[in-house]
């Protein structure tokens, strides 16, 4: 049974595709790519059909990640097929929990940086869209730091299902 994770930011061109691509790489490295499906979307549809922001593509490529992405908007009906919905900031967390059809679905939504023990109290991955390349590099660092903890949690859930 496939475990499904969807990362969500605002427009699905910066943070969430970055998280999707990084986490997909971690899943593959862990040998879980046949068991875990990784996806991303935005809370809004402004960029639907567009590729990832060129600065996202550049920072990912500079760090050895392959990039292929088409932006889309998160739909409430997706909750029924998803196991985990990972919000990139508190605004996305609130928006997704409001969209959730049931309380059980709302509990599937978590903040990405909550999986990084070094994150402290600030669990938002800041939106780099209106800044320069350094903001995208900072986001990548945050995404990579949280991915190890997220992978451990997902692995535990996947192994729990198999038991």
Which is the catalytic residue, given 6, 14, 15, 89?
15
Range of the domain at 27: 3-162
CATH number at residue 76: 3.40.50.2300
| pLDDT tens-digit map of 37-50 | 999 999 999 999 99
Q: Known catalytic residue: 9?
A: yes
- Encode pLDDT of 104-150 as tens digits: 999 999 999 999 999 999 999 999 999 999 999 999 999 999 999 99
What are the backbone dihedrals phi and psi of residue 158, each rounded to the nearest 5 degrees, phi first?
Answer: -65, -45
Do 153 and 115 contact (CB within 8 A), yes or no? Answer: yes
Active-site residue identified among 9, 14, 24, 105? 9
Please state the domain count of the chain.
Answer: 1
Residues 48, 72 contacting (CB under 8 angstroms):
yes
With cut-offs at 50, 70 and 90, classify the pLDDT of residue 73: very high
Q: Is 1 exposed, middle or buried (0-12, 13-18, 19+ CB in 10 A)?
A: exposed
In three-state form (DSSP H/G/I as H, E/B as E, the rest C), the secondary structure along the chain is CCEEEEEEECCCCCHHHHHHHHHHHHHHHCCCCCCEEEEEEECCCCCCCCCCCHHHHHHHHHCCCCCCCCCCECCHHHHHHCCEEEECCHHHHHHHHHHCCCHHHHCCEEEHHHHCHHHCCCCCCCCCCCCCHHHHHHHHHHHHHHHHHHHHHHHHHHHHHHC
Q: Annotated catalytic residue: which of 33, 50, 127, 157?
A: 127
């Amino acid at each position: 049974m496939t475990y499904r994770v969807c990362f969500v930011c605002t427009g699905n061109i910066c943070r969430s595709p970055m998280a999707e691509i990084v986490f997909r790489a971690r899943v593959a490295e862990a040998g879980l790519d046949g068991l875990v499906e990784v996806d991303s979307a935005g809370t809004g549809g402004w960029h639907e059909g567009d590729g990832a922001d060129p600065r996202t593509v550049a920072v990912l490529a500079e760090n050895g990640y392959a990039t292929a992405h088409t932006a889309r908007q998160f739909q409430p009906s997706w909750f029924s097929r998803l196991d985990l919905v990972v919000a990139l900031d508190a605004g996305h967390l609130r928006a997704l929990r409001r969209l959730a059809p049931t309380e059980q679905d709302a509990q599937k939504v978590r903040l990405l940086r909550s999986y990084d023990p070094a994150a402290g109290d600030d669990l938002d991955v800041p939106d780099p869209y209106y800044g320069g390349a350094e903001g995208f590099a900072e986001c990548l660092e945050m995404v990579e730091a949280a991915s190890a903890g997220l992978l451990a949690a997902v692995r535990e859930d996947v192994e729990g299902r198999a038991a």
